Every structure is written in structure tokens, then in C-alpha cells.
Amino acid sequence: MEKSKGFISEFKEFIMRGNVIDMAVGVIIGGAFQVIVSSLVEDIFMPVIQMFTGKSALEDLSVKIGSAQIKYGNFLSAVVNFLLMALIIFIFIKVINSFRRKPEEVEEKTTKICEYCFEEIPIQAKRCPCCTSILVKEDEKQK
């Protein structure tokens, strides 16, 4: 009986992990997106394609070569569905990431490059410790 309590507590720990819950949410949202994309393809894009092809659905497109019938419309339909799903998920993730982004903190420079020897030196330096050149401030160069 002691082992079953250990098993149940391990199972609870496994289920409550963040990545398992995130995965479950992702699967559910993915299923919802599939419905949206299917409707987008079937109700909006297919009628437009139908105007150009004269066929009632993209899946109906085929070509007969000898006794074989190649149904390239099924393949095209799968490609369109995939591309639209990827596009919608990409846009969705970009929107979510734009809400998540925090303004980047501006880092103050603490070093500069000596214009004579190209070594990195402290920003306040008036003379390069490497080549001993006297450094002119940017303000004084413009005068």
C-alpha cells in the first residue's frame, strides 16, 4: 500500500509540472486554431480558388495520365492548410511576444576603443594606458 501512495504522489508531481500543463494548453489551442484555419480555407480561400479553377473544391483538382488519375488537389489543399496554420500561429506568437517584451534598459558604456592602438580602455581615460596617446574628447574634435 505504501508503494501506491508513492506512485500517486509521483503522478501528481508529474501532472503539476509546468511543461506538462503548457503542453496540454498548447494542444487545446492548436485544436482551436485548426478549426479556425479550416474555416478560413474552406469558407474564404476555396471560393476564390473556385473562381479560377471552376472546380467546387481544391481537392477535386486532378489530372488523368493514361489509366492513372493524379489527385494533386489533395496535396495543394494540405499545403494551403499548413501554410495558413503556420501563418496564423506566427502572427499569434508575435502579438503575444509584443505584450511580453519589456523596454530594454540602456546600458551605459564603461569602455571605449583607443583611436590609435585600438585597445579597449576605460571611458574616462584621457591617456591610453597601452600606447600612452593623449585622447581627445569627441566634443573637442568637432571644434
Q: Under DSSP, is residue 3 helix (H, G, I), strand (E, B) or coil? A: helix
Mean pLDDT of the chain: 79
Pairing of strands 63-65, 120-122: unpaired
* DSSP assignment of 113-141: E-TTT--EEETT-SB-TTT-PBPPPHHHH
Q: What's the rounded Cα separation, in Å, for the pair 127 and 133? A: 6
- pLDDT level of residue 19 (50, 70, 90 thresholds): confident
Distance from C-alpha of 107 to C-alpha of 66, rounded to nearest angstrom: 70
Residues 60-71 have pLDDT tens digits of: 788 999 899 998
Residue of higher predicted confidence among 140 and 78: 78
Q: 128: which strand partners?
A: none
Q: Using an 8 Å Cβ cutoff, are 56 and 46 in contact?
A: no
85 in Cβ contact with 34 (< 8 Å):
yes
- Nearest to 10, CA basis, from 2, 97, 75: 2
Q: Give this prediction's pTM.
A: 0.44
Please write the tens of the pLDDT for every residue from 80-133: 778 877 787 788 788 888 887 666 656 778 888 888 898 999 888 888 888 988
The pLDDT value recorded for residue 67 is: 92
